[in-house]
């Protein structure tokens, strides 16, 4: 079976580029599989795990925790773009837990400091970015905790 060319990237870096046999993608409507010859597709990603089968037997896999983004399949090329992403094997759960605590404190501080501020929109972008990062770190923890339960 011919392989797919695959690119997995975030706005700041490439996470993977190469040939794969199969991909399990976390789509907004649920996970879906992609093989060579797949119909053209553009889909929204959900936070979750992208699993790439490097070989047809599925003996060698690479897993990536992703947060949001989009996927395109076109002419035996799979492109997965995520707002945030990391290879599951590279997640440092303890460091992520510390980041979750720090961001929760920062969000609480911003909300308390600017709750009555008529210019609260000024801080809206900071809060939105902080909340997105918090959701990303919590996604990583769910992935790591789910993997250790198996």
**Interval 29-86: pLDDT, tens:** 999 999 998 899 999 999 999 999 999 888 999 999 999 999 999 999 999 999 999 9
**CATH code of the domain covering residue 48:** 2.60.15.10
Based on the fold, state whether residues 83 and 126 are members of the same structural domain: no
Residues 71 and 102 in one domain: no
From 135, 130, 144, select the one nearest 65 (Cα to Cα): 144
How far apart, in Å, are the Cα atoms of 42 and each of 22, 27, 81, 83? Answer: 17, 10, 11, 16
Could you list the residue range(s) of the whole structural domain that residue 119 is in? Answer: 92-145
**Triad 93, 98, 101: Cα angle to 5°:** 125
Q: Tell whether 58 and 116 lie within a shared domain.
A: no
What is the predicted pLDDT for the residue at 31? 95
For residue 59, what is the enclosing H or E element?
none
Is the same domain home to 102 and 133? yes
Structural domains counted in the chain: 2
pLDDT in tens, 99-116: 999 999 999 988 887 766
122 and 76 assigned to the same domain: no
DSSP conformation class of 45: B
Claim to verify: residue 16 and residue 63 sit in the same structural domain: yes
Please indicate, yes or no, whether residues 68 and 96 belong to a single structural domain of this protein. no
Do 82 and 122 sit in the same domain of this protein?
no
Under a CB-based contact definition with an 8 Å cutoff, are residues 132 and 83 in contact? yes
pLDDT of residue 144: 93
Same domain, 24 and 13: yes
Examine residue 106 and state whether it is found in any structural domain, yes or no.
yes
**150 versus 146: which is more confidently predicted?**
146
Q: Could you tell me if residue 71 is inside a domain?
A: yes
Q: What's the whole-model pTM score?
A: 0.88
Residues 77, 102 share a domain:
no
d(CA 51, CA 139) in angstroms, rounded, equals 15
Looking at the fold, whether 55 and 120 belong to one and the same domain comes out as no
Distance CA 25, CA 11 (A): 18
Q: Is residue 150 situated within a structural domain?
A: no
């Amino acid at each position: 079976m011919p392989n797919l060319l695959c690119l997995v990237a975030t706005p700041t870096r490439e996470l993977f580029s190469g040939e794969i046999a199969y991909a399990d993608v976390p789509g907004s409507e649920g996970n879906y599989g992609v093989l060579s010859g797949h119909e053209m597709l553009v889909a929204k990603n959900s936070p979750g795990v992208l699993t790439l089968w490097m070989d047809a037997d599925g003996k060698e896999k690479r897993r990536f925790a992703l947060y949001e983004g989009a996927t395109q399949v076109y002419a035996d090329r799979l492109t997965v773009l995520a707002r945030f992403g990391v290879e599951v094997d590279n997640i440092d759960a303890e460091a992520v837990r510390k980041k979750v605590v720090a961001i929760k404190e920062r969000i609480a501080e911003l909300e308390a400091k600017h709750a009555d501020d008529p210019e609260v929109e000024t801080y809206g972008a900071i809060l939105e970015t902080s909340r997105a990062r918090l959701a990303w770190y919590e996604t990583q923890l769910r992935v790591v905790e789910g993997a250790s339960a198996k």
